[in-house]
A = this chain, B = another copy of it.
Amino acid sequence: MSFQNPVFIPGPTNMPEALRRACDMPTLDHRSSLFADILQPARAGVQEIIRSDSAEIFIFPASGTGGWETAITNTLNPGDKVVAARNGMFSHRWIDMCQRHGLTVEVIDVTWGEGLPADRYGEILAADKAHEIKAVLATHNETATGVLSDIAALRKAMDAAGHPALLFVDGVSSIGSMPFEFDSWGVDVAVTGSQKGFMLPAGLAITAFSDKAKKAVETAGLPRCFFDVRDMAKTYANNGYPYTPAVGLLNGLKLSCEMLLSEGLDNVFARHARIADGVRAAVSAWGMELCAASPDLYSNSVSAIRTPDGFDSTKIVTHASEVYGVAFGVGLGDVAGKVFRIGHLGLLTDVMALSGIATAEMCMVDLGLPVTLGSGVAAAQEVYRSTAGAMALAAE
């Protein structure tokens, strides 16, 4: 594994040097007044990036998984019922977490590669006349399958059912890379991590709570302490923190938000779409298909690529790592051995993306797959060169 090469896993991403340096700061006394200048802009930046005017941002020294736990333990009571669709490994894990915390989960099983079925959610909610369901869980971008679901449609289904359940959205691999509309989608708790769209090291669980979610905090009976947003809220009000914060990562988050907002969110999303388009053109040129069942589900942060039947897709990832020093993502769970994943989120340039495509190509040829060297690269080059000017113009 050479650290000279980019990584093509769907997070942690390649990190801009400026962000690494912002994280790698000398020790700062987090009880001094300097801490406020890090904490509060980081929180404000996240709020702006998820497009909310009023969400309260709580940031924990943890991973995205800790963010899931924050969402449920701060709002629900033991035995509460929630509804969740399972369309990949990460939605599966969130469901498992709920069960381990004593919640009853109504699971909507969906073929991996499909999106969240807003209609099925709607039917279940409509049938729940007693409003026993307290929360709806939705994985915005299923990192395991490269499937982006339509949260606006889910909200519409909830509204159509006239159901008061809270809406929890896992935006771990979407926030900062693809549009996320906390306010207009009526999200109640959003969850993400530092190591995806924010291009930072792992280590921050980032959550956003709506007013409705904060009201639920008052009555939530699930035990919690480390992830208790009440302690966060109280200490934030005095520019403090309930325990020792990860100051460097927060400083990195502050700068990451500044960078994304200064580039302009629309430009950031267009940049991700363009890089993803190149990767998808390559996949097409190889005669292969994405795990995502239809173009409206294509994720701009990760592509899961189906390999031919009978071929173990994990071999591509192992081969890339051992022979070329390049990291791709393996298939997980239901699609283990059936897909490999190219992560393309964060500050990946077209030039870097081409090196990943070229590497995947070499691996597939090395392993006997019927792929023509240069074919995917050429298709991606065509995408990149035909859009390079437009990007430059947009950035002006």
The CA of A392 and the CA of B325, in the complex, are separated in Å by: 11
Question: Which of the segments A1-9, A48-56, A180-188, A296-304 contacts the partner chain?
Answer: A1-9
**A222 interface residue per 8 A CB criterion:** yes
- From B100, B193, B245, give the contact of A228 (CB < 8 A): B100
Which parts of A329-377 form the interface with B (CB within 8 Å)?
Answer: 329-330, 347-352, 354-355, 358-359, 361-362, 365-366, 372-375, 377
In-complex Cβ contact of A381 among B1, B3, B361, B384 (8 A): B361
Q: Which of B33, B101, B366 contacts A223 (CB 8 A)?
A: B101
Q: A84 CB to closest chain B CB, in angstroms?
A: 15
* A381–B355 CB distance below 8 A: no
Q: Is A257 an interface residue (CB 8 A)?
A: no
A contact set with B: CB distance below 8 Å: 1-7, 9, 11-17, 20-21, 23-24, 26-34, 60-66, 69, 78, 96-97, 100-102, 193, 195, 201-203, 222-228, 242-249, 321-327, 329-330, 347-352, 354-355, 358-359, 361-362, 365-366, 372-375, 377-379, 381-382, 384-385, 388-389, 392
Give the shortest distance, in Å, between A317 (CB) and chain B (any CB). Answer: 8
Q: Please give me the residue from chain B that is nearest to A222 by CB atom.
A: B223
7 A-B pairs with CB atoms under 8 Å apart are: A4-B6, A4-B352, A60-B62, A62-B66, A64-B243, A201-B248, A324-B351
Q: How far is the CA of A116 from the CA of B80 in the complex (A)?
A: 41
Smallest CB gap from A201: residue in B: B248
Question: Which chain B residue lies CB-closest to A385?
Answer: B362
Cα(A3)–Cα(B60), bound, Å? 25
Cross-chain contact B69 with A226 (CB below 8 angstroms): yes
Q: Can you name the residue of chain B whose Cβ is closest to the Cβ of A11?
A: B244
Asked whether B325 lies within 8 Å of A349 as measured between CB atoms, the reply is yes
Chain B residues contacting A30 (CB-CB under 8 Å) are 12
A348 to B326, CA, bound (A): 14
- Residues of B near A349 (CB, < 8 A) are 2, 4-5, 324-325
CB of B378 within 8 A of CB of A374, answer yes
Given the known A-B contacts A65-B243, A225-B101, are A1 and B347 also in contact in the complex, defined by CB atoms under 8 Å?
no
A384 to B320, CA, bound (A): 13
Nearest residue, chain B, Cβ from A14: B27
Q: Given A21-B24, A202-B245, A374-B379, 11 more contacts at CB 8 Å? A: A4-B16, A4-B352, A9-B31, A12-B244, A14-B27, A32-B321, A61-B63, A193-B244, A202-B244, A222-B223, A326-B351
Known: A225-B97, A246-B203. A5 touches B352 (CB 8 A): yes
CB–CB B28/A1 < 8 A: yes
Cβ of A27: which chain B residues have Cβ within 8 Å of it? 7, 9, 12-15, 201
Residues of B within 8 A of A33 (CB): 321
- Report A94 CB to chain B, min CB distance, Å: 10
Complex Cα–Cα for A61 and B249 (A): 12
Let me know if B323 and A389 touch, CB within 8 A. Answer: yes
A343 to chain B, nearest CB (A): 10
Is B195 within 8 A of A330, CB to CB? Answer: no
> Once the chains bind, are A7 and B29 in contact (CB under 8 Å)?
yes
Name the contact of A1 in the complex, choosing from B29, B100, B350 (C-beta under 8 A): B29
Residues of B within 8 A of A9 (CB): 27, 29, 31
Complex interface: chain B residues within 8 A of A12 (CB): 27, 30, 244, 247
In the complex, what's the smallest C-beta–C-beta distance from A219 to chain B, in angstroms?
15
Tell me, in angstroms, the Cα distance from A354 to B6 when the chains sit together.
Answer: 13
Top 9 closest pairs, chain A to chain B, by CB: A374-B378, A374-B374, A29-B327, A355-B355, A24-B24, A65-B243, A373-B378, A354-B358, A202-B244
